[in-house]
Amino acid sequence: MPDLPPHNGQVPRLNDEGRVPLDAPQFQIAAHNPRRVEVAVAAFFLLSLAGFAGFGAAYWQGASNLWLGMTLGVGFAGFGLAMASWGKWLMPRGPFEEPRAPMATTEAEKELFIADFASRGKVAIARRHALAKLMGLAGGVLGVVVAFPLIRSLGPLPGNTQYRTKWRKGSFLTTIDGRRVTVNDLEVGGVLTVFPPDDLGGAISQTLLLHVQASGNVVTMQGRETWGPNGYVAFSKVCTHAGCPVGLYEELTQQLLCPCHQSLFDIYTGAMPVFGPAPRPLPQLALYIDKSGHIRAQHGYTEPVGPGFWSRGAAPFARYRGK
Amino acid sequence: MSTSAAGERSNPADKAYRWVDDRLAISRGGRHLLNKIFPDHWSFMLGEIALYSFIVLLLTGIFLTLYFVPSETTVIYHGAYKPIDGQRISEAYASTLNLSFAVRAGLLMRQMHHWAANIFVGSIVVHLLRVFFTGGFRKPREINWIIGANLLILAIFNGFLGYSLPDDLVSGTGIRIAFSILESVPFVGSQLAFLLFGGNFPGTAIIPRFFIIHVLILPLVILGLLGAHLGMLIRHKHTQFRQAHAREDNVVGTPLWPTFAMKTGGFFFLTTAVTVLLGALVQINPIWQYGQYYPYKVSYAVQPDWYMGFLDGALRVMPAWELHLPGHMIPNVFFPAILLPGITFTLLMLYPFIEAKLTGDVAEHHLLDRPRDRPVRTAFGVATFAFYFVLFGASATDVLANYLSLTLNFVLWAFRIMAIVVPFIVFAVTYKLCKELQQTPSAGKRQQFNLILRSADGGYTTVPAEQYPGYDQPELAPVDVEKVELTADAAQQDGDEGVYEIPRRYR
Ligand code: HEM
Ligand code: FES
């Protein structure tokens, strides 16, 4: 060992053939005053004993979470402190040394391994080329075939379900408890979550009905002149950002707020997003009021509701309009 | 044979040991294990905390599985929590209420489990930072770095799945966002989301599926990776800081038996104690206050667990852009919620190779760097961390706006700007600090005390006190790190008693 730093040799090695004598300085304990540490460790163990026993009593009595946790916690804390201080102060403090060889093997070792692997492999496998290929092929087919029940059975593929809700021509706007909504149900400034009758509570069909003005058609956009009769408008409640229910209607500013990431939608411009990360307006549901005063859908949504997805826009939205 | 040796042999523990040893040869490798050296430095404890909180998760989790019912079937509730008596709720929500109010010590176990999850992810992050800033990821430990990064990802995922299980309003909203994020993946996103959820949101199977992934699949994967992580640790042996006696070709410290075993056993119980005390004193996830999840209801205080905070913040600060292609689109959430973490974790895993490429340093390293000695790496790491810290802060834009009486618009823009500017400032400041610290070699070192002695005739002399018995020189003056070279071939040449000595060249 020619050029090792000078302090080598002061630190004993435990794994060598001979044993390091137990009276070596490295086997001494770290505490200057062992008696004091012993008392402390004993006190910690007694504390933990009290804690554990207390937990037993608390459990037996059906005590509150606070009592259960405090007793058990004190028990563990005492136990842990006792062990840690015992180990730190009353046990061989070292330092000892362990030698370390570099991880990388030598070129000779590598070559031996490669030679064994490749030469034997050549005889056994490479010579039977066709067999090896067949083995690979059969294994590959197994892999593909197994993937089907494992993955494909998990659920249906989207099909066109992302483009359609359960809203159809003439659907009654229905509350969660199945009541059909009429023109007299909402005060001005009122808001109600409505569903098509066959999808109460539906996550995709959920729609927000708003009574934004006392009378007259609410025109949010060109081409939607008849969509908001008698001061009522309805928008999809599924945020176009990440799908949270757009829950808050601010009557003063005529805006809708999504609580998840604070997107704001402006009602009178067709729920255009005016703040936050939402990239598209909330789709609007065209309404009409029938002879008996019920609010109903003129037709389904004219575009997919909710957040975007890869193939959105692959087909003209109108094709998916409910009949 | 002396009588005392014969006496020892008849002791039952000794007999049992001999019986097993004859069959499994424990003493062959066992002695090396007992004598495995652990360097003494507090920062090596961070990984241990992660390991121990995982054990706490396993134990408390097993308790929870005995009572939790992973089902969305609705029942009419007549349980211990009276305010919702008679309401229709899901079995998952009902059984979590049952765990919290009826099962003895159930609430404690639930809160311990949740707290342990937070400690688990937190200690992994801090442990990762320690390894990063000290260069512990360099050759030959790159594979273990990658395993560690994957453990972090899995821990975050499993935490998310776990707090999604009780079917409460807050977690349900999180699941809704997760569906939208999956859906946003180009080409296969919709298919992925539909397969995982068993249909369009909310699907038919999400709670039972999340349950089995949470309690079985991911814990098994984590267990396997942890085994590999620790196995490699033994194979590589520990890294160590530069201090007396420490060299590239050795490990200096205390042996596993008995010193380290006792200390680390103590740390296990202390980690457990902290989780129990948090579970007793600090309420976490009071699902009865949130209520049952319904897809059309929303809670106004939707704050995810802290380790998802950076994602929530990224979703908020992202401008309202999305990419429209002919017939297709890449939705807004793809960029902050898939692309950003994707890039982050890819870069994280590739970092050892990127650094090796940039520095041209392909040598093995077993001595750790002090962060100041690697100013560029340190500054880069702190700047990256600062970026994520800003995103984390951004997950509270609404709370901050309320609290500071600012407009939401102002707070949002402040975070957008900070996310870009802060990392650059932090980089510059850290770099400068490292350089400054290099100039003051004693900064951050243990103080050495002086003893002032008065002699009989009244004269004074000062002697430096020995500060740690046995450590004649607690820390060596920094040496130039790059100049040490290990060569495997040369090591082969001289082997005494199976121990390779490594010739070292100082250039
Ligand atoms: C990687 C490790 C794990 C993490 C990070 C983790 C995290 C979580 C979290 C945060 C919760 C929500 C608790 C709440 O506030 O209600 C949870 C719930 C749950 N976990 Fe885990 N967990 C892990 C491993 C396990 C294991 C191994 C099991 C079972 C063997 C398990 C069983 C459960 C059960 C049954 C619940 C639902 C009951 C409830 O929510 O109270 N977990 N988990
Ligand atoms: S989900 Fe509505 S703003 Fe993000």
Please indicate, yes or no, whether residues B342 and B457 belong to a single structural domain of this protein: no
Interface contacts A/B by beta carbons within 8 Å? 359
The amino acid occupying position B190 is S
In B57-95, which positions are buried (b, 16+ CB within 10 angstroms) versus exposed (e)? beebbebbeeebbbbbeebebebeeeebeeeebbbbbbb
Count Cβ atoms below 10 Å from residue B272 Cβ, excluding itself.
Answer: 25
Residue A263 in contact with ligand 2 by CB distance below 6 A: yes
| A281 within domain boundaries | yes
Phi, psi (rounded to 5 degrees) for A250:
-100, 105
| A316 within domain boundaries | no
How far is the alpha carbon of A98 from chain B, nearest alpha carbon, in Å?
A: 5
Which residue owns the Cα nearest ligand 1 atom 24?
A: B57
Please indicate, yes or no, whether residues B50 and B30 belong to a single structural domain of this protein: no
Q: Do A96 and B187 touch (CB under 8 A)?
A: no
**Residues, chain B:** 507
| A215 within domain boundaries | yes
Residue of A106, A204, A310 lying closest to B329 (CB–CB)? A310
How far is residue B340 CA from its own chain's centroid? 20
A-proximal residues of B, 257-276, CB under 8 Å = 258-274, 276
| A99 within domain boundaries | no
| A179 within domain boundaries | no
Please indicate, yes or no, whether residues B55 and B193 belong to a single structural domain of this protein: yes
User: Which ligand 1 atom lies nearest to the CA of residue B164?
Assistant: 12
SS3 A52: helix
| B464 within domain boundaries | yes
B-proximal residues of A, 252-271, CB under 8 Å = 259-263
Sequence-distant (6+) residues with CB within 8 A of B467 are B446, B448, B449, B474
Peptide bond into B352 cis (omega under 30): no
Q: Which domain holds residue B221?
A: 45-294+338-365
A-proximal residues of B, 192-211, CB under 8 Å = 194-205
Please indicate, yes or no, whether residues A135 and A203 belong to a single structural domain of this protein: no
SS3 A65: helix
- Cα–Cα dist B479/A223, whole Å: 77
Contacts of A204 in chain B (CB under 8 A): 200-201
| B415 within domain boundaries | no
| B403 within domain boundaries | no
Please indicate, yes or no, whether residues B216 and B286 belong to a single structural domain of this protein: yes
What is the structure's pLDDT at A16? Answer: 80
- Paired with A232 in beta bridges are A211
**How does DSSP classify residue B396?**
T
Peptide bond into B319 cis (omega under 30): no
Query: Left (φ > 0), alpha (ψ -120 to 50) or beta: where does B293 sit?
Result: beta
Instruction: Tell me the CB-side half-sphere exposure of residue B339, using CA atoms within 13 A.
Output: 13
How far is residue B195 CA from its own chain's centroid? 30
In B18-40, which positions are buried (b, 16+ CB within 10 angstroms) versus exposed (e)? eeeeeeeeeeeeeeeeebbbbbb
Count Cβ atoms below 10 Å from residue A71 Cβ, excluding itself.
Answer: 23
Please indicate, yes or no, whether residues B231 and B197 belong to a single structural domain of this protein: yes
Query: Left (φ > 0), alpha (ψ -120 to 50) or beta: where does B2 sit?
Result: beta
Domain count within chain A: 3
A47 close to B (CB below 8 A): no
Residue of A99, A241, A273 lying closest to B499 (CB–CB)? A99
Residue A68 in contact with ligand 2 by CB distance below 6 A: no
Please indicate, yes or no, whether residues A145 and A236 belong to a single structural domain of this protein: no
| B206 within domain boundaries | yes
Please indicate, yes or no, whether residues B28 and B108 belong to a single structural domain of this protein: no
Please check whether residue B300 is in contact with residue B399, taking contact to mean a CB–CB distance below 8 angstroms: no
- Cα–Cα dist B469/B464, whole Å: 13
Residue A244 in contact with ligand 2 by CB distance below 6 A: yes
Which residue owns the Cα nearest ligand 1 atom 12?
A: B163
CATH of the domain at A217: 2.102.10.10
Please indicate, yes or no, whether residues B352 and B455 belong to a single structural domain of this protein: no
Q: Do B108 and A86 touch (CB under 8 A)?
A: no
pTM (2 d.p.) = 0.89
Count Cβ atoms below 10 Å from residue B406 Cβ, excluding itself.
Answer: 14
B294 close to A (CB below 8 A): yes
User: Which ligand 1 atom lies nearest to the CA of residue B99?
Assistant: 41
Contacts of B274 in chain A (CB under 8 A): 73
| B397 within domain boundaries | no
B-proximal residues of A, 117-146, CB under 8 Å = none
Tell me the two tokens of residue B268: 């296990």
Residue with tokens 């059975």: A153
Please indicate, yes or no, whether residues A204 and A273 belong to a single structural domain of this protein: yes
Residue A211 in contact with ligand 2 by CB distance below 6 A: no
Tell me the two tokens of residue A189: 């400034």
What is the structure's pLDDT at A12? Answer: 87
- Cα–Cα dist B165/B170, whole Å: 11
Please indicate, yes or no, whether residues A198 and A252 belong to a single structural domain of this protein: yes
- Cα–Cα dist A36/A86, whole Å: 11
Across the range A52-68, mean pLDDT stands at: 97
CA nearest A42: which of A78, A16, A17, A68? A78
> Quick one: which ligand is closest to B331's CA?
2
**Residues, chain A:** 323
- Cα–Cα dist B147/B228, whole Å: 8
Tens of pLDDT, residue by residue over A166-219, are 999 999 999 999 999 999 999 999 999 999 999 999 999 999 999 999 999 999
Residue of B201, B237, B259 lying closest to A100 (CB–CB)? B237
| A259 within domain boundaries | yes
| A77 within domain boundaries | yes
Q: Do A73 and B198 touch (CB under 8 A)?
A: no
- Cα–Cα dist B324/B397, whole Å: 28
Q: Do A201 and B294 touch (CB under 8 A)?
A: yes
- Paired with A272 in beta bridges are A266
| B388 within domain boundaries | no
Please check whether residue B99 is in contact with residue B110, taking contact to mean a CB–CB distance below 8 angstroms: yes
Domain count within chain B: 3
Contacts of A262 in chain B (CB under 8 A): 316, 397-398, 408, 412
**How does DSSP classify residue B466?**
P
Please indicate, yes or no, whether residues B102 and B224 belong to a single structural domain of this protein: yes
Count Cβ atoms below 10 Å from residue B121 Cβ, excluding itself.
Answer: 22
Tell me the two tokens of residue B77: 């509730």
Residue A179 in contact with ligand 2 by CB distance below 6 A: no
Cα torsion B140, B141, B146, B147: sign? positive
Cα torsion B371, B376, B382, B385: sign? negative
Between A20-24, A94-98, B110-114, B192-196, the lowest mean confidence (pLDDT) is in A20-24
Please indicate, yes or no, whether residues A244 and A286 belong to a single structural domain of this protein: yes
| B221 within domain boundaries | yes
Q: Do A313 and B107 touch (CB under 8 A)?
A: no
B498 close to A (CB below 8 A): no
- Cα–Cα dist A271/A284, whole Å: 8
What is the structure's pLDDT at B471? Answer: 47
Please indicate, yes or no, whether residues B12 and B141 belong to a single structural domain of this protein: no
SS3 A224: coil
Q: Which domain holds residue A77?
A: 25-89
Peptide bond into B258 cis (omega under 30): yes
Ligand 2 centre distance from Cα of residue B385 (Å): 26
Chain B CA closest to residue A162: B200
Please indicate, yes or no, whether residues B239 and B261 belong to a single structural domain of this protein: yes
Please indicate, yes or no, whether residues A197 and A258 belong to a single structural domain of this protein: yes
SS3 B500: strand
Please indicate, yes or no, whether residues B57 and B95 belong to a single structural domain of this protein: yes
CB-count burial class (<10 Å; 0-12, 13-18, 19+) for B353: middle
Ligand 2 centre distance from Cα of residue A246 (Å): 8
| B454 within domain boundaries | yes
Contacts of A195 in chain B (CB under 8 A): 296
- Cα–Cα dist A209/A186, whole Å: 9
- Cα–Cα dist A25/B469, whole Å: 9
- Cα–Cα dist A83/B184, whole Å: 51
Please indicate, yes or no, whether residues A218 and A290 belong to a single structural domain of this protein: yes
Strands A207-211 and B328-330: unpaired
| A111 within domain boundaries | no
Please indicate, yes or no, whether residues B115 and B172 belong to a single structural domain of this protein: yes
In which residue ranges of chain B is pLDDT below 70? 1-9, 301-302, 441-449, 465-507
What is the structure's pLDDT at B466? Answer: 58
- Cα–Cα dist B387/B336, whole Å: 13
Q: Do A97 and B302 touch (CB under 8 A)?
A: no
Contacts of B485 in chain A (CB under 8 A): none
What is the structure's pLDDT at B442? Answer: 66
